[in-house]
Amino acid sequence: MAWLKKEYKYKLIKEFFSPDELIFLKIYCKNKLKENTWTTDPQCPFTPKFSKDALMEALLETKLGVVETHSGLKLFKTYSYWRYYVFGSILKPHYDRPSCEVSVTACIHKTDKWPLVIDNKHYELEEGDALIYLGCEMSHSRYDYFDGEGMAQVFFHYVDQNGPFTHHKDDEYLFEWLTVEDEKILDKLKRSSSETRN
């Protein structure tokens, strides 16, 4: 079971992306949107989403050491994707799949505030900042709807090398699968997390 250092289940990382990386990523995301190759998903209707993006997959791998340092865990990469939230986007409370045991959400670009809510705490990420969180254990969402023109957010997902989900190493986003054992572990994690907070 993944436990972040000092028993916290989410951690803010300031300047996860360097200023040069951020400039590059903003231009890249703007150009990808112009290609009009995005899809959407039921979790965020009408919100452009890019999975299997070659650049983000490269960052998933190159940022692994940073995430291991901040989480205190040895990790396997699973997958990445990024979204471009638009005016009216929503993100209802949810738990993540097993391949998102240790997750990072990082802000590339935003035109308005729209905090991530985990365990009733609000995290307003500035451009370049990231938040590590245990997505299988912690329900997370964003309140109301996005009131700005756009927000580019990337997600990097990993599993603990010593945890119960190692069989999800190098998962592909479109081909997610759950074993019966996964479902039991997820249920246990959610119950344990809920009991810890009460």
Check which CATH number belongs to the domain holding 92 and give it.
2.60.120.620
Residue 174: which pLDDT band, with cuts at 50, 70 and 90? very low
User: pLDDT, tens digit, for every residue of 77-106?
Assistant: 999 999 999 999 999 998 888 899 999 999
Stated pTM of the model: 0.86
Q: In which element (H, E) is residue 152 found?
A: strand 150-160
Residue 7: which pLDDT band, with cuts at 50, 70 and 90? low
Structure tokens at 176: 């997610």
CB neighbour class for 189 (10 Å; exposed up to 12, middle 13-18, buried from 19):
buried
DSSP code, position 87: T
Structural domain for 155, as ranges: 5-197
Distances (CA, A) of 176 to 19, 129, 179: 34, 28, 10
69 phi, psi to nearest 5 deg: -60, -45
User: pLDDT, tens digit, for every residue of 16-53?
Assistant: 999 999 999 999 999 999 998 999 888 888 899 999 89
Our count of domains for the chain comes to 1
In angstroms, how far apart are the furthest CA atoms of the chain? 47
User: In whole angstroms, what is the distance from residue 159 CA to residue 164 CA?
Assistant: 9
SS (H, E, C) 1-46: CCCCHHHCCEEEECCCCCHHHHHHHHHHHHHHHHHCCCEEECCEEE
